[in-house]
Structures are given as structure tokens and as C-alpha cells.
Amino acid sequence: MVSVESFVIASIIKTAIALFVLLTAVAYSVWLERKVVGHIQNRWGPTRVGPFGLLQPLADGMKFFFKEDITPPHVYKLLYLAAPVIAVTFALTSISVIPIGNWITVAGVRTPLQITDVNIALLIILGITSMGVYGVALAGWSSNSKYSLLGGLRASAQMISYEVSLGLSLIGVLILSGSFSLREIVDAQGGTFWGFIPRWNIFQGQIFAFFIYLMAAFAETNRIPFDLPEAETELVAGYHTEYSSMKFAMFFMAEYANMITVACLASLLFLGGWHGPLFGPPWLQSILPVFWFVLRVFCFLFVYIWIRGTLPRFRYDQLMAFGWKFLLPLAITNLVITGLIVALKS
């Protein structure tokens, strides 16, 4: 029987570690993006601050921290200040229910490799990430700027539209696993077909669901080619045009934290989570599941960055038409077919 004190201490330690790892990953996701896009475009990217530019995220953080903080005179100050806090808070909170590996035992306390294990984790993440749109919408409205307002309206319409397709793409996974628990969804993907094909959901007929999730995730996180809320050629910088210093950095952090959350969910729901070959001594076998999970997240982030350096931006009418006229019917079709197949098998 685990005492309340041990449980509380373990939760505090896991929360601190998770926040440190997530914020570090956010910083170095920016470094990775600048390096990869630089090489795609035949240039170096960060090279001056530290070896290979590895200290560039630290320099950028210090620059944001010491940069002059300007508040325009005609903003609605309460919501103007609250918007970046809302965006970054919900972006960081969603990581609390994401598992990254099996259960472990430390100092006699058996604990899962996640901050908290709940059986409706997927619903919680969808609810928390959906609330993030309020930070963007309020930033655009409270700035009292036409450019910011248009960026906020675009972001709201885009995120609400693609949220529908994203949610429908996940129902096929829920039908196959029969649970909202991310840990149980990963456990359902253990084993192989015919001895060599992993039982990942992407290989169990959810290839179209994965494509829909991928496209909707790009739109939800405002990434190229779906970054119309931040279209510099039209809106200067979109909803965060009037923000500077750490308030701007909070929106930046929220975007990259959401990218990491999306990558973690893709790995858990479609790519088998932490399942992979285990070999070597017991200590190595306990580390390998976390390694396989992190490797999948890294690959997903690399695809994110690769597409940014490759594809042009859509027009806004093309973006909305793609979501409602293509992704939504495809998601409904995938849901119906998955339901029929499962019903015929049972």
C-alpha cells in the first residue's frame, strides 16, 4: 500500500521533470527547425552561439526576457495580458496525462511514466487543447488592431473547423481499442500480425485516419501550409502582432508545445506508443520503451519541419474548403467503414 505522502512526492517530482523536459524540448524544437529548414534551403542555420548553435535557444530566451515590453495604449488590458497566459497554460497542461512508457518502481513506489493516469485521458487532452483557441481569439480581439483581429478570427474559424475532422479521425482508434485511456490504447497495439507486422493502428486499417489526423494537426497548430492566422504577407504577424517580449514568447512556446503534444498523440494512437524490440540487460529493457516513444515523436516533428520547408501556404478559401469538403467526408467514411468491419468481425 502506497502512502499518501509517497504518492504526493512522486507526483511533484514527475510534474517538475515533465515541465523541465517539455520546456527544453520546446526550446530545442525551435533550434531543430532552424537547422533543418536551413539545410533544406542550402544555408547553415544557427552556428555561432555554442557548438552547432546549441546554445541559441538560451540566447533567444534571454533576448525575450530582457527585451522591452511594450503595451499599446488602446488595448483591452485585462484580456490582452490574459491571452498569452491562457494559450501557454493549456498548451503545457495537456502533457499531464500523456504516458511515455510502462510502469516503473522507484524507492518502493510503483508509478506510471506519466504525471497522472486517468481512464479518459484522450477526452481530457481534446478538451484542454480545444480551450487553447480562446487565447488566440482573445489576443486578436483585445489588441484593438485590424490585423490582429483578422488573425484571431482566421485562427478561430480554422481551429474549430479542423477540430471536427481531427475528433472524427480518432473514433476509429477508439472503436478498435474500446477505451479512452491512452495507456490501454497503446496496450491494444502490442504484438504483431503474421509474426512481423506490428499491430499498430495505422496497420489495422487506420491509414486514412492517420492522414486526416496529420492534416488536422497541422491546421490546429497553425503550421505551414495552414498558417493563415500568421500570414506575414497579409497580416504582418496575425493575432500576436501587438505583442512583444515575454508575452510574444508565450505564444511561441504554446505553438511548439502543441506541436509536441500532437506528436505524442500520433505516436500513442497510431504508431504503437512505446512498443518496440527489447534486448540486452534488464536496465536497458526498462529504458528502451521510452527510447522508442521519443524516436517516434522526433520523427513526427521532423515531418512537421520538413513540410514547413517544402510546401507553400494555401489561400484561406482553399484551406476551409479542404477541411469541410475533403477531410470531413473522408473522416466520416473512415468511421463508417471501421465500424462495419468491427461489427462484422464480432
What's the average model confidence in pLDDT over 158-179?
88
Cα dihedral 35, 41, 43, 45, rounded to 10, equals -20
Please compute the mean of the pLDDT values over residues 129-147 and round it to a whole number.
Answer: 86
* 131 within some domain: yes
In this model, does residue 6 exceed pLDDT 80?
no
Q: Stretch 60-80: mean pLDDT, rounded?
A: 86
235 part of a folded domain: yes
pLDDT of residue 19: 87
Any domain includes 86: yes
Residue 107's pLDDT is 64
pLDDT in tens, 192-210: 777 778 888 888 888 999 9
Going by their DSSP bridges, the two strands 197-198 and 109-112 should be labelled as: unpaired
> Domain for residue 298, yes or no?
yes
Is 31 a domain residue? no
Residue 233: inside a domain, yes or no? yes
Give how many domains the chain has, as a whole number. 1
Flag whether pLDDT at 4 surpasses 80. no
Alpha-carbon distance values, 332 to 18, 255, 335 (Å): 36, 28, 5
Which structural domain range is residue 211 located in? 65-103+116-345
**What pLDDT does residue 296 have?**
92
Average pLDDT over residues 129-136: 84
Query: Span 296-315, mean pLDDT?
Result: 87
**What pLDDT does 149 receive?**
87
Per-residue pLDDT band at 298 (split at 50, 70, 90): very high
Residue 33 falls within a domain, yes or no? no
For residue 108, pLDDT beyond 70: no
Q: Which three cell numbers stand for residue 74?
A: 488602446
% the chain with pLDDT above 70: 97
Confidence (pLDDT) at 240: 82
pTM over 0.85: yes
Residue 335, all three cell numbers: 468511421
Position 35 in a domain = no
Give me the pLDDT at residue 235, please.
Answer: 67
Mean pLDDT of the chain: 85
